Amino acid sequence: MGAYDTETEGLAATARAALVREIDADGAWTGDPAWREAFTEVPRHLFVPYYYVAGPRGYERRWGESDDRQARRRWVRGAYADAPLATRLRDGELLSSSSQPSLMARMLVALRVRDGDRVLEVGAGTGYNAALLAHRLGDDGLVTTIDLEPEITESARQHLAAAGFHPVVVTGDGARGVPERAPFDRIIATCELPTVPRAWIAQCRPGARVLTPMATGLLTLTVHGREHAEGRFLPTAAFFVPLRGEGRTEPEDVSLAGLPGRARAEEPFRFLLGLTRGTLDPLEAYALWEREGRPDRGRYGVTVGGGRAWAWLDDPEGPYRWPLP
């Protein structure tokens, strides 16, 4: 260990405590205070030994092993900022990141885990979220995390071991789930998907809960059988790296010409555009949004059943329904 390690650990402990107080003030884990202990105990800096910060000249790399003491201090402070961190780039494209901690806290609370639950995480990232789950549920095989990229799963495995956690880390296509580890009581995705993979539903026990980012929202589903699940979006906005693998679809360029200027700035309207892409054009979507009182995310939901999936406004059997891929 280098001479700076004691200082680094001290700075990390102070910064981690400040982050927990910040999330406390945000009210993110109301309803399950056990997550407060997890965020207090799990050292995020071990999962981001380096990361990238966008600047006027491109991305700046911050590294915990820098010879520059001030650079190391900036790295520690950034590791405990309540902000997403870019952790892996390829040709300028963001491949992996560590999500904003307060958003992670809200997602984990919304997952409603119980002691003894078997959890699948889709999108291993740095391994930090899997460590929080392992801290909450125990490190005896209840937590499985999967990612498509071998270098991501290998680094996540190393980070987890350095922090003292050993969930099952799998390299594979997250859209296919992990059938050999099923059945699951909870599935949480940390990447954006265009639809709900049928494999997830089939690998869940009845009553299981699925939480996945979709169209800049967070969808929560209750599984009612091997082919049926239904639920609503949380009010929270969420932006994630898209899923890589067979479940990925390339985003389409959408022209907003002809829309009022205020519509382009309304995030809930852009959520509706993302949810209904390929079904409604922007003018149709805007007319509907205005007519229905400018609904926020919490009024939308998704149903999976009968070999198909559809999004809806207010009522799964109501007049406003749109097929998902």
pLDDT digits (tens, 9 = 90+) for 104-136: 999 999 999 999 999 999 999 999 999 999 999
CATH classification of the domain holding 65: 3.40.50.150
Cα angle value 271/298/128 (rounded, 5°): 75
Residue 274's pLDDT is 92
Residue 169's pLDDT is 98
- Do residues 223 and 315 both lie within one domain? no
Residue 257's pLDDT is 67
Q: Is 136 helix (H, G, I), strand (E, B) or coil?
A: helix
- Do residues 194 and 64 both lie within one domain? yes
Which of 152, 146, 61, 136 lies closest to 104, judged by CA? 136
Domain with 265, as residue range(s), is 261-323
Residue 254's pLDDT is 57
Active site (annotated) includes residue 96: yes
- Do residues 129 and 277 both lie within one domain? no
* Tokens matching residue 301: 């939901």
- pTM metric for this prediction: 0.92
In this structure, the chain runs to a length of 325
Catalytic residue among 96, 97, 102, 155: 96
Q: What is the mean pLDDT of each run of 10 residues along the chain (325 residues)?
A: 68 96 89 90 96 83 90 94 89 79 95 97 96 94 96 96 97 97 97 94 97 96 95 94 62 64 84 91 93 97 94 96 93
- Do residues 34 and 102 both lie within one domain? yes
Please tell me the total count of domains within the chain.
2
How far, in Å, CA of 219 to CA of 236, rounded?
A: 10
Residue 251's pLDDT is 47
Q: Is 131 helix (H, G, I), strand (E, B) or coil?
A: helix
Residue 255's pLDDT is 61
